[in-house]
Structure 1
Amino acid sequence: MIQFPPISRAEALLAEDMLRRKMSQAFRIEFMFFAGQKSEFILWLQECTPAVQGVSWAIWTEWYYTIATPLLSIANRIHINRGSDSVVDSDTLMRITSHHSRDSALNYLSDYGAKLFTFRDLIHVTTDKDAELIARLHSYIASNLHADLSLSSLADIVRLNGSYLSRLYKSVTNQCLMHYITDERVKRSRALLRDNRLKVHEIAGKVGFLSPPYFTRFFKKETGMTPMEYRELVLNH
């Protein structure tokens, strides 16, 4: 195990800031996967190695699951995670306490991701052209959750027929495009609700809802809790 010297409070704050920037870029994991950028993915993780040693358990845990979740999502989509003959061990992936140190957890994330890339190459998940389109679409969605993300709007962005885009997305990712957008809006809403300085109506606007009551109904339908119930839960634990 690599031993890191104790760090100052200022260094700890810098480490936390760095990891939060990485968390905001988690959508790039799918981008790198569909584009076949294995070496870029490994390097992206390695850049976090010094920082994870200097943050609190809460920040470390948040960062770990922010990275692990899209990896699990990819595994499910390409059917690598099914049955007793599964190529990857997702139970260990989604249980941070399975790792005896932060170093071993980082190594596990790296190895898990590498196996996904290897499997991708074996089954030829998609063409480079399709991968680039899906990655570009995901990048646009991540940057524009506040905007109109209807199928017709997205089809205009990538210059494709809406019906064709819907079928292509489903064939490449094994997921409905509108379900993906819903999931991303829920994830962004949860992250924003952790910031007690933001009002619910502000968060609603940031994830594409002009009506706060409609946002509340949407959030409760997807999570089983209202935004305020979720905020109280996470801020009190």
Structure 2
Amino acid sequence: MRVSIPREGHKSSQLMMETGRVRSTVYKLDLLEAYMDNGDAAGFLSLYNKLFQTEEPLFAGESGRWLGLELFLHLSAFFLTYMNKRELIDAVGEGFQTEKLYKPDLHAGWRETIDYFGSLGVRIADRNSRMQTEHGHELIVKVHRYIDQYLHEELSLTKFAEFVCLSPPYFSRIYKQITGKGLLEYINETRIRKAKLLLKTTDKKIHEIAAEVGLESAPYFTRLFRKKTGRSPQEYRDSSKGLVVL
């Protein structure tokens, strides 16, 4: 529904309520930070559009023009502060009209202003997502090296999260997002891969191999090995040596 603008000095109660609602959005801008930090462009845009579902007539006339400037300055300060704290001005500004960030007269109207800051937030979120993915790949390589080296030790999500200085839920999400599998699944795959090598190239007993790949329980190791390969460790060893398994 369009908001009608009454004569100067005689605002309708509806217009006053709408003005108050729009002003209240500036206290919710901080909610957008988490979406940008997490690289969630879709989540950012969804919340941003809900906050600024405002019709152009609200900013008509002299009083509307000053209200528009007030909100512009809040948005400008919010995004400038965010980018300055994280040193993103140069990274985000390349190919983007950064002068519109602090010059309201470069915007044709309120809708263009809203679209501009919305696209800026999406740009920031996309950039953070790329950086997290690149950083995530580095972390995963580091974690995989640790697993290979200390496979015989007790391994847990909490230990690896501490190792890379992230919270367990966040590290788990990043790991699965990049690799397409859970951390425990990778650890078990690594255990089976090493166990196969040991079964083929050594005469170590099954319980010794189980311990060497980080599983103290030989029965559990045998169940896991059969689940992953379709054969018991002994059957695998016999077949790798060309023996007939009856």
Instruction: Determine which structure has more spread, i.e. the larger CA radius of gyration.
Output: 2
Which TM-score bucket, shorter chain as reference?
A: 0.3 to 0.5
Which has the higher relative contact order, 1 or 2, with Cα contacts under 8 A spaced 6 or more apart? Answer: 1
> TM-score scaled by structure 2?
0.44
